[in-house]
Structure 1
Amino acid sequence: MSSYLPTPSSLKRMILNATLMSLILGCRPAPEANSQPDAILEPVNYTPVVSAGFPQVIPPKNSVQLYGNVTYLGDSKDLKTQWQKISGSGKVTFSNDKIPNTTAQFSQPGTYVLQLKATGAEHSSQDEVIVQVNPISQLQIPALGIFEQGFIHSGNYQNPYTEVEAIATLTTPQGQTQTIPLFWDGGKTWKLRFSPNIEGIWKWSIKSNDPGLNNKSGSFKTSPAQNKGGIQVNPKYPHHFIYQDGTPFWLFGDTHWTLYNQIPKEKLDRNSVQEYIDQRAKQGFNYIHSNLLSREKNEGGLAFENLSEETLNPGYWQEVDSRIKYLNKKGITPMLFLSWAKDGGSKQDWRAFPNQEARLRYARYIMARYSAFNVAFTVAGEWNEYGDKSMYENIAQEMVKFDPHQRLIGIHPGERSYTVAEFAKEDWMSFADYQQNYTKLHERILEKLKYNKPVINSEYAYYLRDQNEDGKVDKPNSATLDEIRHGSWDIVMAGGYFVTGWGTTYFGGIRDPGGFNVNDPKNDDWEVQVQQIPKLFKSLDWWKFKPLEKRIKGEGTHYLLANENQQYIVYVRDTKKPLSLALESETTVSYSIQIYNPRLGKFSDLPNFTGTNSITLQPPTQEDWVFVLKKLNP
């Protein structure tokens, strides 16, 4: 990703805005010789952002205070709110079911799910909260689920985000301790959000400079896990990933930098984002790039009303919460970029913070709010566009210090430097490299495997991107289906992973003609063919394969991955001449052989091989092909 440049269509909107401002000020601009036709401003259909509060446990016959909150940027006269019971064994009586902040009573013990729904002029949204009515005041959740506890500060503050500090210490069932900050969620509300990784009784306590938060304590019980947890580096095969429960994870990534925004002129909002997530989940994607700190609003407003003054807007982050929850529900891990180093003319980037203390405070806030989810973190996008290495290392170390979940952490280079390998040996860095690289795709993955961590090319192509709207694709490896397919296979056949993208979706429609559109027919061919890559690898124990290219000889482009002589993956293109795979076996061995069509995702059986020296593999055409060999007498 490079700095934002206005497109012709955005320039038209800028001209219109300037014209309107000049009329307001009582002057009229001189007509331009090549004036553009009048732009049409898109109407904004605001959607409420709803938070139902936080889970609570209360004794029977007691009422509970519900700390609901609704942010609505439309006309307040159009807003209606409603509480209702979704499930629970008894009757729920609300003191006023038409306001977000109310009380409720329960007729009998049990677990109740309450919903707060808000309806604006055209759109509605809702959020749910669990209330357990139980003589034993102890919340119960599954391991690898999310424990959430809410609190109310007692002091009076102009800016709670900067003035209040609160740290929770959690004690595991084995007696070990972990720490995580609480995060401010608007008004006087603070939340502790944590994902316990083992079963048993957990205890927590809080230290804070606010009397209402300080010395709060409690416990909760965890039952067997009901999900796989977050992703982490596979300790046995460190170029690859697993879920927390040990299930292998083949990283299949897409890009949507504006995933948490609302941009009416591009038809990007919560509904279109959910449609995008649904589509990518159906296509098998399990990892999506996204930027948290954006120049754009969402349904809750801006991330910070004024970043230089650190006036954080909880409504924005509540909307981010809802989208991350939806991603996780669909089996997708968002890679959360905390910020770009320098985002063009934006006032929402690392450069815009008033000082390093403010940057560290923001990093702690993000860890507190999001590390309990199935997420990963990138310290900075294009870090070398602003600041120095020590600044970002300081931020990364703060993230590690306040993330008890030990989520993956990376950093991302600008286009002038394709690599971040200078960070590869740092303890906080989860990756050997997290490249933005458009050339030597295969070789530059191989170079970084020596660090014994995963290698990802995070930006190598955006299919059919036309940022200048001149009818010409302006991103490398992106102009044709063959280009982007070849580039993707070049990466995975080196033992790396890729994060792909489409011009119509990767930047919310901003850098492509037309608006945000996950259903654009021009995307269909790559959407189909990219799925054939994980299809092949997930049919094998892919995490056991390593590059072994000295054993394959021939013409054209060809690569080899091997699993200790038990299985081989051979990729070839640009030749019809046979390849020779050296076996280096002193005894007779037998292999089954299949040829895989990476365009159609189809396997075809070839005759088995029995011999000692080498196997000859014949590509049927000069197109790209993959041979899969499996030893029959291991």
Structure 2
Amino acid sequence: MKRYAALGLSLLSGLWSLCGADLPELRVSTDKRHLETTDGKPFFLLGDTAWELFHRLDRDETLLYLNKRAAQGFNTVFAVALAEFEFHLPNAAGELPLENNDPTKPREAYFSHMDWVIDEAAKLGLRTALLPTWGDKWNKKWGKGPEIFTPENAAVFCEWLGRRYADKPVIWVLGGDRPIENDNHRAIIRAMAAGLKKGDGGRHLVTYHPQGRKNSSDFWPDESWLDFHMFQSGHAQRFFANYDMNAKNLALAALKPTLDGEPCYEDHPVRGLMKDGKPTEWFDDKDVRMAAWRSVLSGACGHVYGTHSIWQFHDLTKRKQQTDARTPWKEALDLPGAKQMGVMRQIIEKQFFTEGLDWTKLRRDDSLVTLNGIEVTSQNKPMAAVTEDGSFAVIYVPGFAKNGLFFNGHKQMSGSIPETAMALDPATGDFLSAAATISGAGPVYMPMPNLGKEPWKGDWLLVLRKAKDK
């Protein structure tokens, strides 16, 4: 087992490879479950939500943010052209995006700054998941708007955007946290999609960002312009079953990749536990880690992380507090969950690959494990996946179960005895223990590894590999 200890992710103490002046374009894989580059390499989308990036940061601040996220292992940054908050105010350079709020009259100086941000991100290997507008500009619903889009001007604006960024490494994200409530809303989004496709020739992927606890498939179960599904499991409660939202998408007749585009944000109030309008509890790194691993092992094509201070770039020296943000954004860059997202990508892309294991072949299988004598709840539910050929399995155990679990996956792993069964720390990637030697045909008990104080609260990752044929 010493060789596995050496595979711990100590290389995250250094920087990820910062490259990417010419990032390859993306497409949907042939199995319609994942994304890949046009040269056929799997692409695990690891995003960070920086919605107000173009609007609120100056160039020095932008470089600080981009360099930090690239070093932490992110490969995609989510940002919006027409921002939600303080839309009436100019960006850090004093520029507004539109002339008289007219989408057919974009102002060059504002979008020149966007060009620069997207180019600087690309130099660091970061793609930009670009929202043409926040949703309050076509369905105010809540917030301040103003509603400025019609189907006609939406098509014009998005064709212009598509043409402008046709040669840039972008992913188009429509929606913006607002619901489709009538035929006019539907027509606006379809016009935006058509405009983008016309402008960039269909070169870039398109998805849709819905409001909390909603799924793009709720509105668009089978639209030709939508390349992959996105949902927002949101910030209302701990232990939300985002894996069921993936399951819904992967059961559709028109199969497309699926992604949790806005799970619980680190350092965000748990909205369902507010009292008298005030936060009482906040999501922490374990919350975001649990949401990430459960989503990925239930079939997501990647994951999107966020922190409550970063998406809005909370800075009391420049603006008032908004939506209960409490940590200055430059400090929030180093919240532990961000590095742990890089650990997850490292495990999936590098550690598995080093061992010759193909993460794109993993499929969720709840029958692989059972808890030891306790009821499964949304709090303690393990998430298990096994490859189609039975070569390896991965099980995320969120903790909250004191008595370990049973592995039942002999049939899925072709009746073979796995060569190794190792436990990893999903927060660090460190090797914890050899969980068990798998033998026989019946359930095999997997004890918890040593997780320190109150170990039953800790989460762990179990990786099983089938014995090689002799």
Query: What TM-score, normalized by structure 2, do the two folds share?
Result: 0.77
- Give deviations 1:424-481, integer Å, cap 9, x for gaps: 311111113433545322222222112321111111222113699x999978995333
Q: CA deviation at 1:578?
A: 2.9
Quick one: distance in 1 between partners of 2:443 and 2:65?
47
Residue aligned with 1:582, SS: coil
Quick one: distance in 1 between partners of 2:233 and 2:309?
20
* CA gap 1:309/1:632 in 2 versus in 1, 3 angstroms: closer
Give the number of aligned pairs: 398
Return the structure number with greater helix share. Answer: 2
Matched, 1:484 2:311: no
Residue aligned with 2:115, SS: helix
Matched, 1:465 2:268: yes
Q: Which residue of 1 aligns with 2:73?
A: 284
* Residue correspondence of structure 1 range 54-133 to structure 2 within 5 A: none
Matched, 1:581 2:412: no
Contact in 1 for aligned 2:22/2:122 (Cα 8 Å): no
- Give deviations 1:249-269, integer Å, cap 9, x for gaps: 11111111111123xxxxx32
Contact in 1 for aligned 2:265/2:306 (Cα 8 Å): yes
Query: What TM-score, normalized by structure 1, do the two folds share?
Result: 0.58
2:400 alignment partner AA:
D
* Residue correspondence of structure 1 range 594-633 to structure 2 within 5 A: 594-606=422-434, 608-620=437-449, 621-622=455-456, 623-633=458-468
In structure 2, list runs of 5 or more residues that go unmatched: 1-19, 138-142, 315-320, 353-357, 373-379, 450-454
Matched, 1:444 2:245: yes
* CA gap 1:241/1:417 in 2 versus in 1, 3 angstroms: closer
Which of residues 551, 564, 570 is equivalent to 2:368?
A: 551
Q: CA deviation at 1:399?
A: 2.0
Q: Which residue of 1 aligns with 2:132?
A: 338
Return the structure number with greater strand share. Answer: 1
In structure 1, list runs of 5 or more residues that go unmatched: 1-224, 263-267
Q: Which residue of 2 aligns with 1:90?
A: none
Quick one: distance in 1 between partners of 2:221 and 2:102?
32
* CA gap 1:229/1:477 in 2 versus in 1, 3 angstroms: farther
Q: Which residue of 2 aligns with 1:15?
A: none
Q: Which residue of 2 aligns with 1:144?
A: none
Q: CA RMSD in A?
A: 3.0
* CA gap 1:258/1:515 in 2 versus in 1, 3 angstroms: farther
Q: Which residue of 2 aligns with 1:324?
A: 118
* CA gap 1:632/1:467 in 2 versus in 1, 3 angstroms: closer
Residue aligned with 2:419, SS: strand
* CA gap 1:614/1:258 in 2 versus in 1, 3 angstroms: same
Higher relative contact order (CA 8 A, sep 6+): 2
Matched, 1:493 2:297: yes
2:307 alignment partner AA:
W
1:430 alignment partner AA:
D
Contact in 1 for aligned 2:163/2:199 (Cα 8 Å): yes
Q: CA deviation at 1:595?
A: 0.6
Which of residues 311, 330, 342 is equivalent to 1:531?
A: 342
Q: Which residue of 2 aligns with 1:591?
A: 419
Quick one: distance in 2 between partners of 1:467 and 1:477?
6
Q: CA deviation at 1:611?
A: 3.9
Contact in 1 for aligned 2:162/2:199 (Cα 8 Å): yes
Q: CA deviation at 1:375?
A: 0.6
Quick one: distance in 2 between partners of 1:494 and 1:427?
24
* Residue correspondence of structure 1 range 245-256 to structure 2 within 5 A: 245-256=39-50
Q: Which residue of 2 aligns with 1:24?
A: none
Q: CA deviation at 1:230?
A: 2.2
Residue aligned with 1:378, SS: strand
Which of residues 233, 237, 253 is equivalent to 2:28?
A: 233
Quick one: distance in 2 between partners of 1:476 and 1:591?
47
- Give deviations 1:19-51, integer Å, cap 9, x for gaps: xxxxxxxxxxxxxxxxxxxxxxxxxxxxxxxxx
Quick one: distance in 1 between partners of 2:233 and 2:437?
41
* CA gap 1:246/1:548 in 2 versus in 1, 3 angstroms: same
Quick one: distance in 2 between partners of 1:275 and 1:586?
49
Residue aligned with 1:479, SS: coil
Residue aligned with 2:329, SS: coil
Quick one: distance in 2 between partners of 1:587 and 1:300?
66
- Give deviations 1:514-547, integer Å, cap 9, x for gaps: 78523348x4322333332222212222111110
Which of residues 546, 556, 561 is equivalent to 2:385?
A: 561
Contact in 2 for aligned 1:255/1:289 (Cα 8 Å): yes
Q: Which residue of 2 aligns with 1:297?
A: 90
Quick one: distance in 1 between partners of 2:281 and 2:186?
30
The structure having more radius of gyration, on CA atoms, is 1
Q: CA deviation at 1:412?
A: 1.7
2:148 alignment partner AA:
A
Residue aligned with 2:335, SS: helix
- Give deviations 1:558-581, integer Å, cap 9, x for gaps: 121111210000111222233222
Which of residues 160, 166, 172 is equivalent to 1:371?
A: 166
Quick one: distance in 2 between partners of 1:504 and 1:341?
20
